[in-house]
Structure 1
Amino acid sequence: MSAPAQAGPRPVNIQQLIDESPVSRFQLLIIVLCFLIVAVDGFDTAAAAFIAPAIRAEWQLTPAVLGPMFGAGLFGLMVGALVIGPFADRFGRKPLLIFSVVFFGLASLGAAFSHSITELTWWRFVTGLGLGAAMPSAITLTSEYCPERRRSFLVTIMFCGFTLGSAMGGLLAAQLVAEHGWRSVLVVGGAVPLVVAVLLWALLPESIRFLVLKDPRSAAAARNLARIAPKADLAGAVFVGPKKAKGLPVQQLFSRNLVGGTLLLWLAFFMSLLVYYLLTNWLPTFINAGGASIQQAALVTMMLQLGGTLGGVVLGLFMDKVNPHALLASAYVGGGLCVTAIGNSTGVPGLLPVAVFGAGFCIAGSQIGINALAAAYYPTASRATGVSWANGIGRSGSVVGSMVGGLLLSFHWGFETIFAIAAAPALVAGLAIFLKGRLQSGATLDAAPVAQVAQEG
């Protein structure tokens, strides 16, 4: 009597299993760890602005000399996102995150012992390299562990760590500089990431999708899935979902199915960060020039960050329920109207803080949202590269935005004209997102809520 034939390998769709399971403590742990990454990223990114007045006083510097220090950090962020970030598609999300966090932590410690503005400027560039690589990988890893029905909301919640980290930096810096000098801010900004790196090494898993892309029978992927769906039978499973693609990850961004969306995402990121950094860096100056005190200008500008944090949460929640492209496009248009209202707030009591809050809610909130949109757009094989390059192109917009404010002031135009011009990039970003949605809809690559592209299967 012949033995019964053994069943063949059982295919298990990893995204389907994640979608069918409730969000587990394991997934929440990943979100918390990535939240910590972008929080220390936000703290270090904003550190230069917090310590600039003390540096200027200690080294007897003019404001113009401080400019390259700000620019060096932003340029480092751009280079880090473009050059280092894509290595997460080759070596894995976890190794790249740990490397990046350790890298910018050590660079911040090095900056704390600078003896000249030139030396400090170079250290800020090196710090920016690590910061620019860390954020896209955190977005990518979070996205790959989220159920599709809640992906946008969970990614935006994680990304709010950046704005909260920046705000926390302001609160800590005031006390640290007063008690221990400006170098103490950089020491804290370097020491905390090293502690976070230890937590990442001990607790952060590799992306399931990346593991399966490398080995469809990955034992590590099975262990991680078991922590999400403990009742699932994964014995002898062959995991399906992500597919290998030909060519380098950067080449894949320009494949026939992705090139249009890639270019439109880049345009949206560039314009979004241009107007955001224009407001972040120059709004206090504009408000002060309009007759408000420095303290009043600072309080009003805080509404931009507050609005951005709340906007990221609210927009992320609704991105999972309605068409995300239409939602974000509308938000950018609303942001443009709010920026215009800032320039027309003179003589209208209470309008200025409301308009600034609205600009933050719509523009900064949408900037958080399009990170989730980018992570959902690209397949696993090129996801980290796609998010990294979108952020890198966007960072070039932040450099432009940081310089445009001074140019607009030099023309001696009225505030109405200046802020009408400043609103234009937000409208262009909204148009780019709208066109991307129409492009994907026509190619049947996207449906509301955000979905995986067709190559994922």
Structure 2
Amino acid sequence: MSKEQHVDVQAFLNEHPFSRYQWLIFGLCFFIVLLDGFDTAAIGYIAPSLIKEWGVSKLALGPVLSAALFGLAAGAISAGPMADRIGRKRVLVVSVLMFAVASLASAFAGDLSQLTVLRFITGIGLGAAMPNAVTLMSEYCPDQRRAMLTNAMFSGFPMGAAFGGFLAAWIIPQWGWRGVLMLGGVVPLVLVVLLMLFLPESVRYMVARAQPVTRIKAVLGRISSSAANASSFFLTEVKQSVAGQSGIAVVLSRPYRVGSFMLWFAYFMGLVIFYALINWMPILFKDAGIAPKDATMISALFPLGGVGAIFFGWLMDRFNGNRIIAAGYVLTALAIFAIGQVSGNVGLLVLVVFVAGALMNTAQSSMPALAASYYPTQGRATGVAWMLGIGRFGGIAGSFLVAELARRQLSFDVIFAILAIPGLIAAIALTIKQAVHPEKKDVEKTTVKEVLAH
């Protein structure tokens, strides 16, 4: 009779090669985030068509443009605790279905008020999907590659936003703006079917919730056949947690409170910069005397640099994640300040804008992996989701900030000097997080729960 085997789930993931099944999970989560990026950016691409077809002013489009941002915040803040309670997969399937149906319905909107409501509902679905994709992916990664793989998955968001621009340019002349929203609805509906068929629940969540060993064994058996020999599974946590605590209680508990606030603060400040520049950079460049066509082309370089997050992920797996991302934000601040100093030299401006975008998107895209590594399993979905949700208000603040700076008729270089400050604040926040909750590699793990066969 063979000896009973009690298997540490994370050690199992660490010891076996990254399997085809884990790459399937990566691919499904990547496409969730890719579609998230496409749909988030879609409204910007169709805005000129809305103005032309409905005869509305740019000002009247304000509620439509911001509705999805408010929805994203609401979706993330509500779905994180739900995923820690009922599971990552259920919330993912429902949220992708919600943004698919709402996007499809948006294609048939008859006026701005209908479109505003539907964009808010779409935003709720998008906001709920993204953090749970990050959480589920991170929980299937080996420790030594977690940040790199999670960042690589999250890079689907800027890719989706950029890819959406090319698709919109092709679709709108042939089928109009409604075609863009129809595509943004039909493709996620196909993805919902694939998620239901192929996406597993988080194995760490299943162990933490004491789900049947047969179910856990079936999932881990897709990674390595050696799981068949297990008689029970247990979960090790490097992070302090209390059995029975809700996700919200974990995130706001004394051991995590300061770090949670600092993560929210850093992500908020990053999105202040991102949305301020995405929404206002073409206008600021035109006001600085750059030709409108050149201003648009140069501005389009800014969101292209998110793939650098894979390199940051590689660094985070080896060194201190707080310090690496803080350094990224400091370099972002310096590059944004430099934009204000080189407006007279278009060639140099192109280079500085691209570098600033690469640094900004790399630092910002690395934040979800940092949050996922900070919390224990029972609070991870809430922790990631609340950082992303609260951070969305930074996007709203960024747009209003530049509007106010422009109203005060501040000079080009002064505006960019002010926009560099949030990057420094984000770096300070992560430095405080590191000081209060030092991140250490290879710390001793503590077993927090064991699941026996039943």
TM-score (norm: length of structure 1): 0.94
Matched, 1:396 2:389: no
Q: Distance in 2 between matches of 1:153 and 1:170?
A: 27
Q: CA deviation at 1:247?
A: 3.1
Amino acid at match of 1:275: I
Q: For 1:356-391, what per-residue CA distance to the aligned partner results, in whole angstroms no more than 9, with x for missing partners?
A: 122222221111111100001111111101111111
Moved more, 253-262 or 309-318: 309-318
The aligned counterpart of 1:48 is: 43
- Secondary structure of 2:234's counterpart equals strand
Instruction: Specify the alignment match of 1:274 in structure 2.
Output: 272
Change (3 A) 1:282 1:448: farther
Query: Which of the residues 314, 318, 322 maps onto 1:317?
Result: 314
Secondary structure class of the residue paired with 2:233? strand
Give CA-to-partner distance per residue, 1:121-152, whole Å, 9 cap, x none.
Answer: 11111110000000000000000000110111
The whole-number CA distance in structure 2 between the counterparts of 1:408 and 1:266 is 24
Aligned to 1:299: 297
Report the equivalent of 1:414.
411
Give the Å deviation of 1:263: 0.8
- 1:447 corresponds in structure 2 to 440
Distance in structure 2 (CA, Å) of the matches to 1:110 and 1:377: 38
Which structure 2 residues correspond to residues 9-28 of structure 1 after superposition, within 5 A? 10-28=5-23
Q: CA deviation at 1:233?
A: 5.2
Q: In the alignment, is the contact (CA less than 8 A) between 2:221 and 2:227 conserved in 1? A: yes
Of 21, 24, 29 in structure 1, the residue corresponding to residue 24 of structure 2 is 29
Deviation at 1:350, TM superposition (A): 2.1
Segment of structure 1 superposing worse, 225-234 or 328-337: 225-234
Percent identity, please: 42
How has the CA–CA distance of structure 1 residues 456 and 72 changed in structure 2, closer, same or farther, with 3 Å as cutoff? farther
Aligned length: 446
User: Does the CA-based 8 Å contact 1:139-1:371 persist in structure 2?
Assistant: yes
The one-letter code sitting in structure 2 at the alignment partner of 1:291 is G
Please report how far the alpha carbon of residue 25 of structure 1 lies from its aligned counterpart in structure 2 after TM superposition.
Answer: 0.9
- Map 1:16-415; keep pairs closer than 5 Å: 16-215=11-210, 217-232=212-227, 234-241=229-236, 245-307=243-305, 309-415=306-412
Deviations 1:398-425 (A, max 9, x none): 1111222211111111111000000111
Unaligned 5+ segments in structure 1 are none
Aligned-residue CA RMSD in angstroms? Answer: 1.9
Could you tell me how far 1:428 is from its partner in structure 2?
0.5
Q: Which of 319-328 and 288-297 deviates more? A: 288-297
Give distance in 2, aligned partners of 1:198 and 1:293.
47
User: Are 2:235 and 2:447, in contact at CA under 8 Å, matched by a contact in 1?
Assistant: no
Q: CA 1:219 to 1:281, structure 2 compared with 1: closer, same or farther past 3 Å?
A: same
Contact 2:331 2:359 (8 Å CA) reproduced: yes
Letter in 2 for 1:101: V
Q: Secondary structure at the match of 1:320?
A: helix
Query: In 1, Cα distance between the equivalents of 2:262 and 2:243?
Result: 22
1:33-91 deviations in whole A, cap 9, x for unaligned? 10000011111111110000000011111110001111111001001111133211111
Question: 1:174: Cα distance to partner?
Answer: 1.1
Partners in 2 of 1:216 and 1:19 — Cα distance?
22
Deviates further, 149-158 or 217-226: 217-226
TM-fit CA distance, 1:180:
0.8
Q: Does the 8 A contact of 1:213 with 1:244 survive in 2?
A: no
* Alpha-carbon distance, 1:187 to partner: 0.5
Structure 2 letter corresponding to 1:312: A
Q: Go from structure 1 to structure 2 and tell me whether the alpha carbon gap of 1:454 and 1:45 turns closer, same or farther (over 3 Å shift).
A: farther
For residue 456 of structure 1, report the CA deviation from its aligned partner. Answer: 6.2
Amino acid at match of 1:311: G
Q: Cα deviation per residue 1:13-35 (whole Å; 9 max; x = unaligned)?
A: 11111111111111111111100
Whether the 8 Å contact between 1:241 and 1:456 is mirrored in structure 2 is yes
1:260 deviation in Å? Answer: 1.3
Q: Which letter does structure 2 place at the counterpart of 1:447? A: K
Q: TM-score, normalised by structure 2?
A: 0.94
